[in-house]
Amino acid sequence: MALQFYNTATRSKEPFTLPEGVPAVRIYCCGPTVYHFAHIGNLRTYIFEDFLRRTLEYYGFAVNHVVNITDVGHLTSDGDDGDDKMEKGALRTGKTVWEVADYYTQTFMKDWKALNIIEPSIWCKATDHIQQQIQLVKTLEEKGYTYRTSDGIYFDSAKFPRYPDFAHLDVENLQQGSRIEMGEKRSATDFALWKFSPKDQKRAMEWDSPWGIGFPGWHIECSAMAMHHLGETLDIHCGGSDHIRVHHTNEIAQSECATGKPFARFWMHGEFLRMGSDKMSKSAGEFLTVSLLQEKGFNPLDYRLFALTSHYRNYLNFTWEALENARESLKSLHKKTDVLIGKADLIQSELALRFKNEFQEAIGDDLNMPKALGILNSMLKENLEESEKAALVLDFDRVLGLNLGSIREEYAPKQENVDVFKIDALISLRNEARKNKNWAESDRIRDELKSMNITIKDGPNGTEWSL
RNA sequence: GGCGACGUACCCAAGUUGGUAAGGGACGGCUCUGCAAAAGCCUUAUUCCUCGGUUCGAGUCCGAGCGUUGCCUCCA
């Protein structure tokens, strides 16, 4: 029952343990840049990190989980010609950059809640840690890892020979095919630690520093905040797979040069959600958000279950059909578990303990959630005492986070102009016809309701309708 | 150009050190119902992109090919 995770640093699965004397797992997860809504692809990564956290807790570890909110507008390129994402967001919405950051931070946290992602121990904002970032750059400068150009202070990657190792970079060929603008950089892999504000204009966000007025570079915030809140070495550092080559490589370089210690023991990366050929993903402003799914009648947890059906290191293809699958799947899961609510008791039979054990092994094997789901389903089919089933459902749901311990919340598609009065009238007309065995009339009324998108079902307690 | 990932039934997807294809959804069938819907039950791949090789035995290892796709620029 050894807990093991795939470590990007070694490209292999390794047993996870905590070093002597460390009371809680120190996890840092790269969070969002709050200049726009998070789309469900972004959210997939946070769901993966949530499984990770819950799995660690299931295994009895205390967890110190830090997630950053990037509210500094970094430029979109290394030169001076890129746009600032935050300022772009401000322009788009007609708000100040601070309002933009605040607004999208709030909606982001709402999404977390809707997806039943456990809040991190600490949310940290980049703008609240400018001094720590400046301090880190100063340390790097003192140790001789930096150089100055006309537009900023840069990290000299040539001084860190291990630079290419983490991402298996082929630095020679990187330059050949890159689209990186060199500017005054000495090497394509050098990166800005501190950027100067343009002399002729005032930026919406800028700070004083030993090098003049400006703003922090792209990567420094994560190193500064992670070390500020968790210490110089982390146990696990997570992010999306796109971070491996640039962001995390640079974080390692600057952090390890500053401290002389390993920055993180484990690196874990979530793979992307794909949108297939669906156009809506790419076209600006049309990407899929949690609230859009809700408008279409999905419970956010339907999406959580969808994310649960594939392994975090594999691509997941998003299609509406697949989401509907997940919704049906969650519904039928609830059918089986809702009747168990309140019946939980001890897990003690040999069979029940075996299920618990299998479940624990699945999640502990690099978060094999699809397998864990399969175990839940098999368990529900098995001939077990209801009290044990109920207990196992609650136990598993500590990790799955599907709220199987409470009744499912339905999300009806948004539909204006539903005339409840008329529907009720039609239904009683139909029931009158049925009483008289006038089947033709009752079927006609049902068709009429159907044309209004109303589905009815005749149950023992009368007729129910739904959209 | 460099570095990767993936290709398992209609759809999503698991498959640990090679041993004879989890699970979910849809479909279909049955039960129930005036008929539907709902509910319950059952069923669904001699086969894992192709071709070779290793092996008593390969989805699982090796080689080649085909296809899809990501990163290398802010990006989860």
β-sheet bridge partners, residue A64: A26
Residue A245 lies in a domain: yes
Question: What value does the mean pLDDT of chain A take?
Answer: 87
- State the complex-level ipTM: 0.91
Residues A394 and A446 placed together within one structural domain of the fold: no
- Taking the C-alpha atoms of residue A377 and residue A42, their distance in angstroms, rounded to an integer, is 28
* Nucleotide B17 C1' to residue A329 CA (A): 33
Per-residue confidence (pLDDT) for residue A180, from 0 to 100:
59
- Specify the 3-state DSSP secondary structure of A72: coil
DSSP code string of A15-68: E--PPTT--EEEEEE---BTTSPPPHHHHHHHHHHHHHHHHHHHTT-EEEEEEE
Q: A447 pLDDT exceeds 70?
A: yes
CA of A173: nearest nucleotide by C1' is B2
- Specify the 3-state DSSP secondary structure of A377: helix
3-state secondary structure A52-64: HHHHHHHCCCEEE
Q: A79 pLDDT exceeds 50?
A: no
Per-residue confidence (pLDDT) for residue A306, from 0 to 100:
94
Residues A67 and A200 placed together within one structural domain of the fold: yes
Closest among A335, A397, A342 to A369, alpha carbons compared: A397
Per-residue confidence (pLDDT) for residue A95, from 0 to 100:
82
β-sheet bridge partners, residue A462: A459
Residues A458 and A365 placed together within one structural domain of the fold: no
Q: A82 pLDDT exceeds 60?
A: no
- Taking the C-alpha atoms of residue A174 and residue A187, their distance in angstroms, rounded to an integer, is 11
CA of A241: nearest nucleotide by C1' is B76
Per-residue confidence (pLDDT) for residue A286, from 0 to 100:
54
The mean pLDDT value for A321-348 works out to 90
Residues A232 and A304 placed together within one structural domain of the fold: no
Residues A165 and A237 placed together within one structural domain of the fold: yes
Q: A351 pLDDT exceeds 70?
A: yes
Residues A101 and A189 placed together within one structural domain of the fold: yes
pLDDT band for position A81 (cuts 50, 70, 90): very low
Residues A265 and A288 placed together within one structural domain of the fold: no
DSSP code string of A257-311: HHHSS-SEEEEEEEPPEE-TT-GGGTSTT----HHHHHHTT--HHHHHHHHHTS-
Per-residue confidence (pLDDT) for residue A283, from 0 to 100:
42
Enclosing domain of residue A16 = 4-270
* Nucleotide B65 C1' to residue A311 CA (A): 28
**CB contact set of A383 (below 8 Å; sequence gap of 6+):** none
- Taking the C-alpha atoms of residue A178 and residue A181, their distance in angstroms, rounded to an integer, is 9
Q: A234 pLDDT exceeds 80?
A: yes
pLDDT band for position A175 (cuts 50, 70, 90): low
pLDDT band for position A97 (cuts 50, 70, 90): confident
- Least confident window among A300-314, A330-344, A378-392, A421-435: A421-435
Per-residue confidence (pLDDT) for residue A319, from 0 to 100:
85
Residues A329 and A371 placed together within one structural domain of the fold: yes
Pull the structure tokens for residue A88. 């772009």
- Taking the C-alpha atoms of residue A91 and residue A94, their distance in angstroms, rounded to an integer, is 5
The mean pLDDT value for A362-366 works out to 93
Residues A435 and A367 placed together within one structural domain of the fold: no
Best-predicted range by mean pLDDT among A30-34, A169-173, A262-266?
A262-266
**CB contact set of A193 (below 8 Å; sequence gap of 6+):** A137, A140, A146, A152, A153, A154, A155, A216, A217, A220, A254
CA of A240: nearest nucleotide by C1' is B76
* Nucleotide B9 C1' to residue A40 CA (A): 28
Residues A83 and A220 placed together within one structural domain of the fold: yes
Residue A297 lies in a domain: yes
How does pLDDT run across A59-73, given as a tens digit for each residue? 999 999 999 999 886
- Taking the C-alpha atoms of residue A160 and residue A256, their distance in angstroms, rounded to an integer, is 9
* Nucleotide B54 C1' to residue A395 CA (A): 45
Residues A161 and A287 placed together within one structural domain of the fold: no
CA of A242: nearest nucleotide by C1' is B71
Pull the structure tokens for residue A203. 């930026």
Best-predicted range by mean pLDDT among A103-112, A165-174, A318-327, A447-456?
A103-112
Look up the protein residue whose alpha carbon has the minimum distance to the C1' of B71: A242
Residues A49 and A104 placed together within one structural domain of the fold: yes
Look up the protein residue whose alpha carbon has the minimum distance to the C1' of B22: A374
β-sheet bridge partners, residue A51: none
Per-residue confidence (pLDDT) for residue A78, from 0 to 100:
45
Residue A67 lies in a domain: yes
Q: Give the rounded percent of residues in chain A with a pLDDT score beyond 90.
A: 55
* Nucleotide B62 C1' to residue A119 CA (A): 47
* Nucleotide B44 C1' to residue A374 CA (A): 18
- Taking the C-alpha atoms of residue A72 and residue A127, their distance in angstroms, rounded to an integer, is 6
How does pLDDT run across A114-165, given as a tens digit for each residue? 999 999 999 999 999 999 999 999 999 999 999 999 889 999 999 999 999 9
How does pLDDT run across A416-433, given as a tens digit for each residue? 566 778 888 888 888 888
pLDDT band for position A281 (cuts 50, 70, 90): very low
Q: Domains in chain A: how many in total?
A: 3
Nucleotides of B under 7 A from a protein CB: 1-6, 11-15, 22-26, 33-40, 69-76
